[in-house]
Amino acid sequence: MTSRTDEDHGARSAQDRLLWVLRRWPTVLGVTTGAFIVSDMSDGSEAALVLVVAALAYLATAVLERQGLIWAVVAAEMVVVVVLQSLDVDPVPVLAVAAVVLALVGAVRRRWGPSRFETLYPWLTGLFLVAGLVGAYAIPVPAGVVVGVALIGHAVWDAVHWRKDAVVSRPFAEWCGTLDFVLGVGVLVVVLG
């Protein structure tokens, strides 16, 4: 026979778990999204597009200087990706060119400085874009390793954004960091497993 206290504790515990999930919805969504993408991967190169989309989205939001626009920027990118794919156009090089243009716009607008964080922005974006291009077009195993490691690196970059509460909104940085980490580890497991 269970006591009233045990029942109250069980109800509180379930309620606490639900509240945690509600507060950490970006983490839950990131893990779910990452696991879904990994479950449909064949060689890991599919994740290169995620890396390029993330790099371009952060760069665009930095140039716009509006943290709250990140969700709309990613949604717009996804529409562009779907349209390009429906026209049999590879979205990776198109998004990479858009990122180069945005980096130049940011330079003209003097967006890349004086802080160390801002100075790193175009360079790290370039690094993530190169990793995405390698992942999309190189031999599968090395490409997958590059993409997996770069996604984990982007998860660290997401954590910096979350901690600084800079460029993108904190919920987005949490979602993207979780997604990148789960996806990066998943790509490495698929490629090296």
Identify the pLDDT of residue 55.
Answer: 92
Residue 20, in any domain of the structure: no
Contact 167, 58 (CB under 8 A): yes
In a domain, 4, yes or no: no
What pLDDT was estimated at residue 50? 93
Distance CA 8, CA 123 (A): 54
Is residue 97 a part of any domain in this protein?
A: yes
Residue 7 lies in a domain: no
39: pLDDT confidence band, cut at 50, 70 and 90? Answer: very high
Number of domain units in the chain = 1
3 found inside a domain: no
Q: What are phi and psi of 21, to 5 degrees?
A: -60, -40
* Structural domain includes residue 6: no
- Examine residue 170 and state whether it is found in any structural domain, yes or no: yes
Q: What is the pLDDT of residue 9?
A: 59
Distances (CA, A) of 5 to 2, 11, 19: 8, 10, 21
Tell me if 173 sits within 8 A of 28, measured CB to CB: no
Decide if pLDDT at 21 tops 90: no
Does residue 133 lie within any of the structural domains? yes
Asked whether the beta carbons of 81 and 49 are under 8 A apart, the reply is: yes
Cα-based torsion angle of the residue sequence 70, 74, 80, 82 in order, rounded to the nearest 10 degrees: -160
Report helix, strand or coil for 18: helix
Instruction: Write down the pLDDT at residue 181.
Output: 97
Domain range for 166 is: 25-192
Q: What's the mean pLDDT when you consider all of the chain?
A: 89
3-state secondary structure of 87: coil
Token pair in block for residue 68: 């709250």
% the chain with pLDDT above 90: 64
Residue pLDDT, tens place only, 162-181: 999 989 999 999 999 999 99
